[in-house]
Amino acid sequence: MYETKPWVKCYDYNVPHTIQYPRIPVQSFLHLAAATYPHKAATNIYGSTMTFRQIRSQVLRMANALTGLGVKKGDRVGLALPNCPQYIIAYYATMSLGAVVVNMNPLYTHDELKFMMENSGLQTLFTFDMVLPVMRPLAKELKLKNVIITKVTDYIQGFPVSTAKDLDLEEGWKHFSQVIESTTSENLPRVDVVSEDPALIQFTGGTTGLPKGALLTHANVVKATCQGTFWGNPITAFTPHANRAVIAAIPYFHIYANTFAMNWGMFNAATQVMFPRFDLEEFMAVLASVQEITYFPTVPTMVTAIVNHPKAAELDLGARIRLLSTGGAPMPVELIQQVKDMGIFFNEGWGMSETTSVGISIPILRHKPGSIGCPVPDNQVRLVDLETGQNDVKQGEPGEILIKGPSVMQGYWNNPEETANQLKDGWLSTGDIAQMDEDGYFYIVDRKKDMIIAGGFNVYPREVDEVLYQHPKIAEAVSAGVPDAYRGETVKAFVVLKPGVEATDKEIIEFCKQKLAPYKVPKLVEFRKDLPKSAVGKILRKILRDEEIAKSKK
């Protein structure tokens, strides 16, 4: 085994080398939690809680109501909601019917949403009042059969429950709470849902052209949740299920939170402390009211804001948070050390929408700075030649990550051509470049498409980013290749300084010269108040690069 999977020898002591997965549909997570901890809080939104038994009741009523609205197995159901109990109810109700959840960022533009709705062929949409200006014309244009609207505050105590009249709903549209109240049936739907059935269409970010919908089965989602759960054993196993809680601050419509906050929360019978949006002051106030957080899946930008907040020391974060993990972007080494100094156990990992967010992760007790860790149980990873995409590279050399495993998608929805390009014999081409060391730990070098070719030299922006984050005055930074008449491309750094400090481009460049080969040093530095980010706080390098390309053409 070690010859083909050298990394398993580095697994933490109580992480299995392989997992016996339950052959159950995703909604079974909820039924297991409701049976074992019926009176425990399943959700906590600004202090308003619902028990697992209450959530189960609402899910079954919603599922039976959806049946009455004509939703059947295989239908696609769009969820364009922030983190709130209504998202969880709509998600598991859809799954209970064997229908397929289509996750959508509700803040996307008309054109982005229209593409996703048309591509998936959805006819039922759950969304909320604040995005009606975009959703209203879309629903009419696409002649959606069922449109179900909620108001986030409807499930927060102290706020009145809205009505269809309050929200000025179109004729024929349904109000979320009224749909649930339209039936008293809490019977399990008489629909046979098996592991191989499609569960979720998860669109990729679309930063490289039109988004692609990764088709994930119930087996993909269940197995990914199990892989993530068992990887956390060295820390989470010590917290009894009765005390488990998870922070849901990244949005459920993103695959990372879908797997590691919501489904992890259900499988672990953990209370989901949810935030419809990430507001730092609100977050710190809620954190102060919660005694223990078992698991906090997050992103580096959130971590930076939280650990540097004036109340961080007073809250004694190390006594509150057991395990913190990040994804989506590399965590600067200095920030990792800051978290560890507080006494919080940390790991980061690599995954994609196409792998149900699971892939490679750092063993919690065996951290190596700069590494994304090892493939988790049952995953296989190869690094192949960047030119041919076939031959495995030698240890230590950069190659494209190919991954095969239980959480890898079935293909792209309604896109056989792209499926054939990316999936061959179960191996997914990821577009990420990495190196592997002698222990089987992987180090992301960069995205294939992000690589800068400056004067014939390959420059990996991630390496430049790491150096920029070491500068004591820099809060956030990202580098990108920009057009250059002489070198073809050159390296430009985009920098956000820490509050109250000043710096010059010369100062930043000189700092980089001490730590990077001359061809890797940024030739240009632009200071900004903020950097463009995705819904989960990932800095969008491509947007900055595209801006520079547009400037060069003028």
Q: How many residues does the chain have?
A: 554
Residue 39 within any structural domain of the chain:
no
Same domain (yes/no): 170, 94 = yes
Of 447, 480, 513, at which residue does a domain stop? Answer: 447
Q: What's the pLDDT band for 206 if we cut at 50, 70, 90?
A: very low
Question: Final residue of a domain: which of 447, 470, 504?
Answer: 447
Same domain for 491 and 401: no
Beta bridge partners of 274: 45, 248
Residue 456 has a pLDDT of: 60
Same domain, 119 and 255: no
The answer to the question of residue 32 being in a domain is: no
Q: What per-residue confidence (pLDDT) applies to 224?
A: 98
Residue 204 included in any domain? no
d(CA 212, CA 203): 5
Range in 226-230, 327-331, 472-476, 547-551 with the lowest mean pLDDT: 327-331
- Domain membership of residue 525 (yes or no) is yes
Q: What percent of the chain has pLDDT over 90?
A: 78
**What's the pLDDT band for 457 if we cut at 50, 70, 90?**
low
Is residue 237 assigned to a domain? yes
The answer to whether position 478 is within a domain reads: yes
Is 185 a member of any domain? yes
The listed range with the strongest mean pLDDT (36-50, 99-113, 481-495) is: 36-50
Q: How many CA atoms lie within 13 A of 41 on its CB side?
A: 16
- What does the pLDDT read at residue 2? 33
Give the dihedral sign, CA 456/457/458/463: negative
Q: Residue 257 is part of a domain; what is its CATH number?
A: 3.40.50.12780
436 with 484, same domain: the answer is no
- Are 460 and 433 in contact by the 8 Å Cβ rule? The answer is yes
The pLDDT assigned to 208 comes to 42
Span 149-158, mean pLDDT? Answer: 96
* In-domain check, residue 499: yes
Residues 172 and 255 in one domain: no
Q: Same structural domain for residues 87 and 180? A: yes
Torsion sign across C-alpha atoms 214, 215, 221, 222 = negative
The DSSP bridge partners found for residue 201 are: 102, 215
382 falls in which pLDDT band (50, 70, 90)? very high
Does residue 368 share a domain with residue 465?
no
Q: Where are the beta strands (DSSP E) in 81-223?
A: 100-103, 124-128, 146-150, 174-175, 198-203, 213-217
C-alpha distances (whole Å) from 445 to each of 3, 43, 548, 554 are: 24, 38, 23, 32
**Residues 399 and 491 reside in one and the same domain:** no
What is the domain-level CATH number for residue 179?
Answer: 3.40.50.980
* Residue 519 pLDDT greater than 90, yes or no: no
d(CA 301, CA 472): 16
Measured CA to CA, the distance from residue 292 to residue 321 in angstroms comes to 6
pLDDT digits (tens, 9 = 90+) for 296-345: 999 888 898 899 899 999 999 999 999 999 986 677 788 899 999 999 99
Beta strands in 315-464 (DSSP E): 321-326, 345-350, 360-361, 374-375, 380-384, 399-404, 411-412, 423-424, 427-436, 442-447, 452-454, 457-459
261 in Cβ contact with 297 (< 8 Å): yes
End-of-domain residue from the set 447, 474, 493:
447
Residues 356 and 481 in one domain: no
Same domain, residue pair 394 and 344: yes
Q: What's the CATH code of the domain at 535?
A: 3.30.300.30
Does one domain contain both 337 and 391? yes
Structural domains in the chain (count): 3
| Domain range enclosing 95 | 52-193
Q: Provide the b/e sequence for 72-87 (b: ≥16 CB within 10 Å).
A: eeebbbbbbbbbbbbb
Same structural domain for residues 236 and 367?
yes
